[in-house]
Structure 1
Amino acid sequence: MSISSISGGYGGYTLPVHGANCQCPACQQLRADASIVPAANADSSQSNSANTVSGASQSGSADKQGNPDSQNGKPAASQTQNANPAAPKAPDGKPLNDAQQKEVTELKARDTDVRRHEAAHQAAGGSLAGAASFTYEQGPDGKQYAIGGEVPIQLSRGSTPQQTIQNAETVRAAALAPADPSGQDRAVAAEASQVEQQARQAELTQQNGNSKLSPLEKAQKASAPEGSQTQPGQHIDTYA
């Protein structure tokens, strides 16, 4: 802002010339106002500049202290995934490579199938089935996984042909219980079917023979302990 001079006349009276050194109240006020405005603008500019620098400094400090991932240029999620504690590791604590992880996955699936297979044998075999035993293999993670198994099944002849037939039916059902019976399972089932067929023939012969006996002979034969007439090889232990 500048101060211009004012000249003119009225009634022969000449107004004083106003200038930079004029000491009239109006000029003094104008000079005072002019000096206040630039000072206020300078203060405001310095304040805004200080705020901007302070904000940038605080933001940078926050990134360094509260967000360590900004220093590495990686999101926190990716670092969390790379350090997954649930991933299988070798016995020495080192992460497994892709091939080793695939092997562990396959061993886990095999272990599940084997245990389910043998459990089906046991459930169907009932009292004729024994406890399952397993063959294990150690994986890259140091754990033992079942890769094979067997269940003992006792194929025995009963004291009567009817009991033998019932035992043979149970053994055959236990051998074929899994959804994927093995060759050994089918062999046991075939043996049980053979024993069942022999027992049915014995049952038929017994019925025909009893029909020719007198009531007294039938009573004596029924009271005789047929179980004492065991023959070698009546008890066959097989594995399904």
Structure 2
Amino acid sequence: METPSVSSSTRYTRLVQDYREKERAAETVNADAAEQADIDSEKALLEREKNQVISELSKRDQEVRAHEEAHASVGGRYASAPSYDMTEGPDGREYAVGGQVTIDTSPVPDDPEATLDKSQVVERAALAPAQPSEQDLKVAAEARAMGNEARVEILERDFHERVTESENTKDSNDTGLTDEPSQNEPDELYPQFPSGIYKEPKSFSFGLNFPQSFVGGQESATGMTVAQQLKDRFDTMGLSFPPQPLGQQVAVTV
């Protein structure tokens, strides 16, 4: 949206019009010699008024040009060149009594950072003159609102990006979990047990009547008698040794 920053020229235009009317009225007066003195006095007064009007127009011209050039200078590429409302003074010269600079206050599409930067430039441009007009203050407020909207958009976008990144990281970590050992993991994490430990379990049967013999190739421990080995097995199973001779047969798998 393009918004003009305007310097009002109404007062100075009316000032010149009033002087012109007085000047025309003075020229139409036809007086005799008796009234000539009063006419001369009126003309002198009108001349003083003319000089005052020229002085005010000259001052206004400087103010308007400085005002609009401040807008254009700070606004840069977002501001147009100044345009002026000109009025002819009593001396025949043209004076700038009003002016405007058009400022682009539209957001940059799909780029909140650029919109924020632009809003700050536009706001500074609107407030650049020493005495900002009512229209200038309105433009500054519009630019400030545009900047605030851009800040909110940036915060929302950054928040969603962080959430998405966090979710992707979590999914990646979950995918990396496995029950299979890695080829690079040390062997001590998965120790190799001695060969033969997973052979078919040895079984033996014995009666609680003695003497007892093993079935299935149970090996005897070095330096231990058969009775000592049996006692060791009974202790392991929580049975008393020697057992009562009831002739019962027991099968044990180890």
What TM-score, normalized to structure 1?
Answer: 0.49
Higher helix share: 1
What TM-score, normalized to structure 2?
Answer: 0.46
Bigger relative contact order (CA 8 A; separation at least 6): 2
